[in-house]
Structures are given as C-alpha cells and as structure tokens.
Amino acid sequence: MKKEEQVMMGLRDLLNKMASLNKSKMKDSFKDYKSSEVHCIEYIGGNVDSNVTKLAESFYVTRGAISKLSRKLIEKGIIESYQKPDNKKEIYFRLTTQGEEINKIHKKLHKEFQERDKVVFEQITEEQFDSMIRFVEKYSKHLDSEIEKQGVDIINQNDFE
C-alpha cells in the first residue's frame, strides 16, 4: 500500500473512531438537535455577526440550506436574527440564552474529549505538530481549490434540511 493511501485510510479511520466514541455522549446531550444544528450553534457562538453567507461558506453548503436551518433554530428559540442600524439589508444571527446553554454543553463535551485524548498529544513534539499542521493546511488548500473548480457542496444537504 502506498504511503498516501495509508495516510488517507488512517485519517478516515481516526475520524470514524472519534465520531463513534463521541456519538453516544453527543446524542444524549443533544437529543432534540441534529449535528448540523449543533455545529451551526457553535459557529454563531464563536463568530460575531454571523450571517447566511458566512455560515454557508463555512459549511460548504448553499445559502438556501442555511436559511432553512436558521429558520428551524429561530423557531426552536435557539438563535435570533438582528440587523445593524447602519445596514438594514443584511440579517445577522446571535444565540439566545437557550442557544448559549447548548453551546456551553457542546464546548464542555469537546473539552472532555480533548482530555480523553490528551495522553497522545502530550507525546507529540513541536516539530511533529508543525509538520502535521503544514500537511493539513496544504491538503485543505488543495481541496478548497478542487471544491471551487467543481462547485461542490461537500456536506450532505439532507443534514441541513
């Protein structure tokens, strides 16, 4: 097997294992929410003046998919929309108190998962981290270029409906 195949299979395997390990706690904590909703909440909680365009770009989905998702979150009382006094055209989103609570739980779970995996990362040298980061950035830029060339929405649209 070629090294690039080993890397790709290894990354896929790692992500699948992480998802499998994290799934039950995430599911228990967010029974009434899809993962796309939780990740949208996370994005809005971490980014001032989030709007449909920024969310769509971040998740690599259409603005229509984000509009539909944001409407659901508004109906659930998780986010609210607002406009700036100097720009009545653009609509932005922020978390409600309920949304902040969901975001806090999500952050807490991520810290718990990081703590679980800390034993591995403590063994990694700065040089190894730098090398991995360079690889991820380089590969990500390549995929960004391919996405742009092909006009592909990479996240399953069904999760956003």
CB 103 within 8 A of CB 42: yes
Lowest mean pLDDT among 97-106, 109-118, 145-154: 145-154
Together in a domain, 68 and 21 = no
Containing structural domain, residue 14: 1-31
Alpha helix stretches (DSSP H) within the chain = 3-29, 35-46, 52-59, 63-75, 97-121, 126-150
Q: What is the mean pLDDT of residues 148-154?
A: 72
Return the CATH number at 56.
1.10.10.10
Together in a domain, 26 and 51 = no
CA-CA distance, 22 to 15, in Å (whole number)? 10
Residue 93 predicted with pLDDT over 60:
yes
Q: What is the mean pLDDT of residues 139-144?
A: 91
pTM for this prediction: 0.81
pLDDT at residue 149 in the model: 86
pLDDT at residue 49 in the model: 93
pLDDT single digits (tens) 125-134 = 999 999 999 9
Together in a domain, 24 and 60 = no
pLDDT single digits (tens) 4-61 = 999 999 999 999 999 899 988 998 999 989 989 999 999 999 999 999 999 998 888 8
pLDDT at residue 50 in the model: 96
In a domain, 156, yes or no: yes
Q: CA-CA-CA-CA torsion for 67, 155, 42, 30, nearest 10 degrees?
A: 100
Residue 109 predicted with pLDDT over 50:
yes
Total tally of structural domains belonging to the chain: 2
Sheet holding 79-84, edge to edge: 50-51, 87-95, 79-84
pLDDT at residue 155 in the model: 53
Together in a domain, 65 and 93 = yes
CA-CA distance, 35 to 30, in Å (whole number)? 8
pLDDT single digits (tens) 51-91 = 999 999 888 888 999 999 999 999 999 999 999 988 888 99
